Structure formats: structure tokens, C-alpha cells
Amino acid sequence: MLINYGYEITIAVAKPTPIICLLDVHPERRAGVQAETPFRSVPPVATSTYIDAFGNQCRRLMAPAGDITLTLNGTIADSGWKEPVVPQAAEIPVERLPHHVLVFLLGSRYCETDRLSQTAWDLFGTIPPGWTRVQAISDYVHRHLTFGYQHARATRTAIEAHQERLGVCRDFAHLFITFCRCLNIPARYVNGYLGDIGVPPDPAPMDFSAWVEVFLDDRWYTFDPRHNEPRVGRIVVARGRDATDVPLINSFGPHTLKSFKVWTDEVGAPALKTASA
């Protein structure tokens, strides 16, 4: 299938401000891009790109004082298949994990493994290791947290989400990641597009989505504790330890979000949502 994706984001800055954006389709996914309009800003500014330590494509620019609108639109090929469910996938002992995976066992800004370790072992320590245990973690987080855009708070950590029992998709991801890491299961944070393809349309405005990849049987598998079911058409934008590593817009100075539109629709299907927040 083909999926149309894109965004239109307007921010305001009081003075010229350096910005780094993580809004481009991830390099590993770009082979599927069929067409893409060049990244555009209004007013026009020069940009440059680089690959960060996690393999994400980052875009640098200098935003002039006032409003600046960032836009991009593209079409990408997708298999149309839901993510795999592999009940036999096994955990890999820490001593056998590849070197590059070890960083995803460590605590990070939003994932306080030191504070949730005992809770993780109390909740999940007796569950058979591997896919069964990881799915149990996803089930627990899905049930434990109440989702709502009104609950968004940029500073909420995993332990705060667990205590408050509410959050948005990034909070579901952070709590899930933390429990996995406490149990010596590598887990990384993923940001990207996830449209209402193959599921009933969500009436809320579309946003970028956060989910998780877990390392089992020497490969990464997708888990999504917010929706807690395999989905079709995820488009990865960026991966990291947690949301700290993959901000959509990182400004080196204050900025104000003025408008935000994201779209992800199957080509040839009725548009499910293109809304502004």
C-alpha cells in the first residue's frame, strides 16, 4: 500500500534562534519513499542535515525572529501487514547482547530504572521470560495508564506516570521502556507517524506518535503499550533512549507553538484526519 504523510508546523521566536528538527523519515525507512516534496520553510531559510549518534536524520536551521512555518509532504510504500507477533521470541542474556544494544538497558532522563526496579521485579519477575513477559508489561501499562491529550506534560517521567496513572503516548512508552530495562530487556523509544489505517478513526486531531522497540532473539520488535495491538503503516522518524533524544523541534532559545498539523493516510482511502491543534 501507499501512505501519504506530512506536516505543517508554525512556531514563533522572539529573536533569531538555532533549531534542530527531527521530522524527516528515518534513513532506514527512506528506501520506501516514492515521492517527497522538499522540506520547505516560510520564510525560506537555509538548512543542513546530519545523522546523529542514534542513526536519525536531523535538520539544522536558523529561525528568524517572528513566525516560521515548516512543511513537508510525501508518499511511502508500506507492506500493509500488521507488525509480527512472535510468542517464541526469547530474551538474550546481558552477557550475549551486542555492544550497541547495551545503552538501551541503562536509565535515562525519563526512564528511572533505579526507582522502578523493585516494582518491575515484583510485577513481572515470575512471568516466563521472553515475549510473554514483554507482552505482560505492555498489557499492564495499557491498563494502568489513562490516555488523554489533556494529560500531556513535557516533564513527566516514568515513575510519575506510574504514580499519576495517566499520560499521553510518550508516557506509556517511557513506563514500558523502564520496566523492560529493569528486567534486563533492551528497549528503545521510537517517534513517528501512525495513522488510523485498518482501525476505526480517532476523532482527536492527529499527532506524531510514540511507541517502543524491544530487543528479543537478536532483533528489534515493535510494541505499543498505548494501543496494545499490532498496527499497519507505522513510519519511523527517530529512535533514542527516550523522548530527550528525539524532540521534533529542539530550539536553542524559547519558542511558541502556533499551529500544528500532521497527516498519515492510506492513498486511495478516504482521509481519516487532517486536523490542527
What order of strands is seen across the sheet that includes strand 47-51? Answer: 47-51, 57-63, 17-21, 249-251
Band of the pLDDT at 4, cuts 50, 70, 90?
very high
Q: Would the pLDDT of 203 be above 80?
A: yes
Helices (H), 25-157: 113-124, 131-144
Residue 274 reports pLDDT greater than 50:
no
88-101, pLDDT tens digit by residue?
999 999 999 999 99
**CATH entry, 2-80+247-267, from 2.40.50.100, 3.40.50.800, 2.60.40.2250, 3.30.160.150:** 2.60.40.2250
What is the structure's pLDDT at 269? 67
Q: Of 83, 82, 84, 20, whose CA–CA distance to 56 is shortest?
A: 20
Any idea where the domains of the chain sit in the sequence? 2-80+247-267, 94-244
Binning pLDDT at 50, 70 and 90, where does residue 206 land? confident
Say what the pTM is. 0.94
Is it the case that residue 272 has pLDDT exceeding 60? no
User: Which of 152, 186, 181, 183 shows the shortest CA–CA distance to 169?
Assistant: 152
pLDDT tens sequence across 32-64: 999 999 999 999 999 999 999 999 999 999 999
CATH classification for the domain delimited by 94-244, as one of 3.10.620.30, 3.20.20.80, 3.30.300.30, 3.40.50.300: 3.10.620.30
Residues in Cβ contact with 95 at an 8 Å cutoff, skipping those fewer than 6 apart: none
